[in-house]
Amino acid sequence: MPRPTKQSPERGGARIRLLEAARDIIRAKGFAATTVDDLCKTAAVTKGAFFHNFGSKDALGVAAAEFWAETTSGFFAAASYHDPADALERILAYVAFRKAIIAGDLAAFTCLVGTMAQEVYASSPDIRDACGRSIFGHTATLEADIEAARRDHGIAGDWTAESLARHTQAVIQGAFILAKAGNDPALARESLDHLDRYIRHLFHVAEDDAK
Amino acid sequence: MPRPTKQSPERGGARIRLLEAARDIIRAKGFAATTVDDLCKTAAVTKGAFFHNFGSKDALGVAAAEFWAETTSGFFAAASYHDPADALERILAYVAFRKAIIAGDLAAFTCLVGTMAQEVYASSPDIRDACGRSIFGHTATLEADIEAARRDHGIAGDWTAESLARHTQAVIQGAFILAKAGNDPALARESLDHLDRYIRHLFHVAEDDAK
DNA sequence: TGACATATACCGACTGTATGGTATGTATAG
DNA sequence: CTATACATACCATACAGTCGGTATATGTCA
């Protein structure tokens, strides 16, 4: 990704390249260990460009969380797990989709805002809240399907769609931690199998043999 | 916690005080944001003491993970959730216990090694592996009970005791992340309710009304 | 149309301080 | 007399952030 020259000025690219660099580097090293110089080098911009676009390193953290929220919501909105006509099938397809994208390099599939929230929740409330909005904004996209599936299948139970949606996220985030601690993505996929089984249990449907 | 004087030399205390400081500060600020000076100040020792006991900041990270493994394994071994004669009841008591200790300040109940593993998994393999040993060492303590409960209740199912033990940890770790992101411990307890429900489903027992 | 002003987006050298780490000294135990 | 467990002063570097400058786009008024 070449620097914009003075002749062909696609200027304004610095901000996006810095956010992309932040997304990749922070997932690998964490927020505190990521330096402004790291980001500038990877994005091929100077410090002047950094502090022109972001008032501080913390401000970049907030912007990175918002950038993550925007790009991932687009990514999930476009995914095919929304296709099934049955709401429960959409939920199970979502879990299967989350499992399917867990592969390859850890920093490539783990969650930026989960990582950042874990690290800065006490020292940087602004970043923490931006991460919170990203996470809980995503869980909210599941609620309607859970609610619909519950109606369709006549499920009672002393749980809410909201809490199940959040629990889904908790399992995913926790799965990432085990994968990192054990340095093995399979540890994450394993937990998603349990989540799949739990949801099928809740809705009284049989387990999927082809796993 | 006073400094050991030359008159009443409880010397050797520096190492433990540094490990306790690491446990508390790293849980609040993360590993990278925790400085050696922070630790020395809180432990009331000098830098000389720090680098006498630990060869580097990374070495302290490894030692902190091992210290965590030791102290928590003692803590859990002594807990009363082991009391019930029935293995399944012990498992459910474990989940209830984990839920019960989620209260008050976030840094007081969250997991040091989960936090560290998340942050340094790529940049410091030594710390990562020490965290992994702590986490998976703990999950291993659940396996015997899960295996026994499975026999006692005649449960088949295409899952292993090992994977369920790990999933339990994943839920707990993920619950901590949601609690941090939402700045509310109730978000963590909520996921443990789902975990409780999942385990009861797996073993075909009724839900607990008194929750 | 052209001259001029203003704003945007970026560059790159510089700075004060914080940080991990070192070197040397000292009191005490055995 | 030696090893341990510190204390203290010091160092090189890395870090977030600053500041003065430049190239380009855009607006505006004669």
pLDDT above 50 for A91: yes
The structure tokens 């830098």 sit at B47
Across A80-85, average pLDDT: 98
Determine the residue among B180, B189, B203 to mutate to test chain A binding: the one whose Cβ has the most chain A Cβ atoms within 10 Å: B180
The structure tokens 């309710």 sit at B193
| Number of neighbours of residue A106 by Cβ within 10 angstroms | 18
Say whether A177 and B29 touch across the interface (CB within 8 A).
no
pLDDT above 80 for A3: no
The CATH class given to the A64-202 domain equals mainly alpha
Look at B157 and B111; give whichever has higher pLDDT.
Answer: B111
Say whether B132 and A198 touch across the interface (CB within 8 A).
no
pLDDT above 50 for A114: yes
pLDDT above 70 for A1: no
HEC profile for B132-172? HHHHHHHHHHHHHHHHHHHHHHCCCCCCCHHHHHHHHHHHH
pLDDT above 80 for A132: yes
pLDDT above 60 for A186: yes
For residue A45, give the H/E element and its range: none
> Of A25, A17, A16, nearest to A112 (Cα)?
A25
- Alpha-helix residue ranges (DSSP H) falling in chain B: 13-29, 36-43, 47-53, 57-78, 87-100, 106-109, 112-120, 125-153, 161-182, 186-202
- The whole-angstrom separation of Cα A109 and Cα A115 is 12
**Which nucleotide does the CA of A58 lie closest to, via C1'?**
D16
The closest CB to that of B123, out of A33, A171, A187, belongs to A33
pLDDT on residue B11: 58
> Of B22, B41, B43, B20, nearest to B31 (Cα)?
B22
- The whole-angstrom separation of Cα B97 and Cα B76 is 10
pLDDT on residue A207: 72
Tens of pLDDT, residue by residue over B123-132, are 999 999 999 9
In the structure, what pLDDT confidence band is assigned to residue A7 with cuts at 50, 70 and 90? very low
Domain spans in chain B, listed from the N-terminal domain onward:
13-202
Nucleotides on chain C within 7 angstroms of protein Cβ: 8-14, 18-25, 27-29
CA of B190 to C1' of C29 (A): 54
A6-15, A156-165, B14-23, B199-208: segment of lowest average pLDDT: A6-15
Residue B15 zone, left/alpha/beta (φ > 0; ψ -120 to 50; rest): alpha
Q: Which of residues 5-24 of A touch strand D (CB under 7 A)?
A: 6-7, 9
Across A51-58, average pLDDT: 96
Across A135-161, average pLDDT: 96
At the topology level, CATH places domain B13-202 in: Tetracycline Repressor; domain 2 (1.10.357)
The closest CB to that of A177, out of B30, B117, B188, belongs to B117
pLDDT above 60 for B6: no
